[in-house]
Amino acid sequence: MGVYSFASGPASLPPPVKEWLAHDVVQWGASGQSALELPFSCAQFERILAEAETDIRALLGVPQNYRVLFLQGGAFAHFSLLAMNLAGDGGADYIESGLWSQRAIAEASPWIGVRIAARGDGTSLPDPAAWDICSSAAYCHYTSNETANGIAFERPPGHCPVPLVADMSADLFTRPLPVEPFALIYASGQKNLGAAGLTLVIVREDQLGRCRPGTPAPFDYTRQAKENSKVNTPATFAVVVAHRMLRWLIATGGLSAAESCLRRKAGVLYSEIDRDGFYVSPVEPTSRSPVNVRFHLASPRLESLFLREAEANGFLHLAGHPQIGGLRANLYNGVPVEAAEALAGFMKEFRRGRG
Ligand SMILES: *Cc1c(COP(=O)(O)O)cnc(C)c1O
């Protein structure tokens, strides 16, 4: 049976990427070795890393004064690590907009002084025009897309008086993005860039050089920048997967094409949800994330039934975040438009006779 996964991560991969990877596991190029067997210091892996960086720079237009780091730990580990790398002796401002930013705040708090510059209610976004940013903060951190809450900032906030840091785990590479407003962008790999194990950090050079003493060397951004992400063994296969995802993104039209694909997927689902009140979006319309589409049914019992029938029909992983509940379809890059269309069709069927 064909299945569609709407998982929050690790997410679906495009079929061509899976086919390339199946081959790569057997043999990388003409190397005679599996991509899993390549030593991280060999010429082939150097080239994979260099090409992945070139593709990231090309897709996002990353300026020369930024470094691209291929790290580990997941975005969750970098909640503390970025504080240890960027804050020096100072404190930082945070925008509390939902579950992931709350976790970022909780993890940074043991290390630095954290001040909340704006707070949302989890169903709508705190307006950037009203962020109360302290000019002495080492940086201001926000979560561009709150994956669990299903809300997202449409664009980067306007002027920020201090270095701007963003967790873009859910939405990096889903649309064109100007990098210049940011001092640092980070993202876990398993949403839009392939596999778990890789954490991408894009950091402006002026933010390097003040890592807190005692930070583990593999998580010292300055050392990793100096040593080309090879202080220790990088997540080599996750880098290979990212390399394949990036090539696929470029071959399918780059980030503008990724964005129009995302808008189509989100459009069919939100219009199904908004049809007649059988499905309900708990999110304020202008704050809705195109990537993580949350919805509810009239009762938890009906939601369980929906999940069971969806699964039986090949629509997998539609439960909401465990701490938030309800239902959620995650529309990362690897989820094709026809998956969203088929899900909308299933939702229509499910409603029939129950409305
Ligand atoms: C998935 C996600 C994370 C956590 O990623 P891990 O790889 O599990 O550490 C953090 N922030 C956001 C916005 C996410 O979507």
> What's the CA gap between 7 and 342, in Å, rounded?
16
Confirm if 300 and 319 have CB atoms less than 8 A apart.
no
76 lines ligand 1 (CB under 6 A): yes
Helix, strand, coil percentages, rounded to 5, for the chain: 40, 15, 45
Query: How many whole angstroms from 79 Cα to the centroid of ligand 1?
Result: 10
Mutate to test the pocket of ligand 1, among 8, 71, 72, 76 (most ligand atoms within 8 A of CB): 76
Instruction: Kindly give the distance from the C-alpha atom of residue 200 to the centroid of ligand 1, in angstroms, as a whole number.
Output: 12
pLDDT of residue 16: 97
> Residue 151 CA to chain centroid, in angstroms?
13
Q: What is the per-residue pLDDT for 190?
A: 98
Q: Where are the alpha helices (DSSP H) in the chain?
A: 15-26, 43-60, 74-86, 99-108, 221-226, 236-251, 254-273, 300-312, 337-351
Cα 65 to Cα 191: distance, rounded to the nearest angstrom? 26
CA distances from 111 to 75, 84, 90, 164 (A): 17, 7, 10, 19
Residues 227 and 208 sit within 8 Å (Cβ to Cβ):
no
For residue 121, the model assigns a pLDDT of 96
Question: Is the CB–ligand 1 distance for residue 169 below 6 Å?
Answer: yes
pLDDT score for 353? 77
The answer for residues whose C-beta is within 8 angstroms of residue 100's C-beta and 6 or more apart is 75, 143, 146, 147, 148, 167, 169
In short, whether 74's Cβ falls inside 6 Å of ligand 1 is: yes
DSSP 131: -
Ligand 1 pocket check: which of 100, 199, 324 to mutate, most ligand atoms within 8 Å of Cβ?
100
> Ligand 1, closest atom to CA 143?
13
In 3D space, the residue among 71, 101, 252 whose CA is nearest the CA of residue 170 turns out to be: 101
Which residues are CB-neighbours of 265 under 8 A, at least 6 positions away?
290, 331, 335, 337, 339, 340
- Catalytic residue numbers read 100, 167, 191
Q: Identity (one letter) of the amino acid at 332? A: Y
Best of 165, 188, 321, 331 for a ligand 1 pocket test (most atoms within 8 Å of beta carbon): 188
For 309, list phi and psi in degrees, rounded to 5: -70, -35
pLDDT at 354: 85
Q: How far is the CA of 188 from the centre of ligand 1 (A)?
A: 6
The stretches in the chain having pLDDT less than 70 are 1, 355
Cα 351 from chain centre: 31
Question: What's the confidence (pLDDT) of residue 23?
Answer: 98
Please report the atom of ligand 1 found closest to the CA of residue 189: 7
Ligand 1 neighbour 98 (Cβ under 6 A) = no
pLDDT on residue 195: 97
**Residue pair 39/30 in contact by the 8 Å Cβ criterion:** no
Matching residue, tokens 């949302």: 120
**Sheet containing 164-167, strands listed edge to edge, beginning at the edge strand earlier in sequence:** 66-71, 199-204, 184-188, 164-167, 140-143, 92-96, 114-119
Are 181 and 156 in contact by the 8 Å Cβ rule? The answer is: yes
| Prediction pTM value | 0.98
How many Cβ atoms from other residues are within 10 Å of residue 342's Cβ?
Answer: 17
